[in-house]
Amino acid sequence: MSVSLEHYLVVSAVLFGIGLWIALAKRNAIIILMGIELMLNAVNLTLVAFNRFVTLADGRPALAGHVFVIFVITVAAAEAAVALALAVSVYRTRSTVDIEQIDLLKR
């Protein structure tokens, strides 16, 4: 028995669901960022899985999935750096990363 596209898609859907649950259910900003990163990695797995099972008309493997994965990894790294910098800044001013207690825009 070989691993088919459906197996990759099921694993990716489970990872995305776990990441979505983490991002929506938790109140800690760092944990929410981890959930978002998990969702982005699930999308990367889907792109690579589709790329593995798609070939061009002349028999060459397509590389579009790998190119998109590189862009998603780049965006995820930039998002993580900016979000962690914001979380550290908020922690320094409020001494918490609980998003229920962060009301910097309120007067």
Closest C-alpha to 5, from 58, 38, 63, 48: 48
Q: Does residue 58 lie within any of the structural domains?
A: yes
The tally of CA atoms less than 13 A away on the side-chain side of residue 59 is: 0
Token reading at 11? 């694993």
Domain that holds residue 16: 5-94
pTM: 0.80
Looking at the domain assignment, is residue 104 inside a domain?
no
Asked if residue 60 belongs to a domain, the reply is yes
CATH of residue 47: 1.10.287.3510
- pLDDT in 10s for each residue of the chain, 107 residues: 788 899 999 999 999 999 999 999 988 888 998 999 999 999 999 999 988 888 776 777 778 888 889 999 999 899 889 988 988 888 888 788 777 777 766 65
In a domain, 107, yes or no: no
Q: How many domains does the chain have?
A: 1
Is residue 12 assigned to a domain?
A: yes
d(CA 14, CA 95): 34
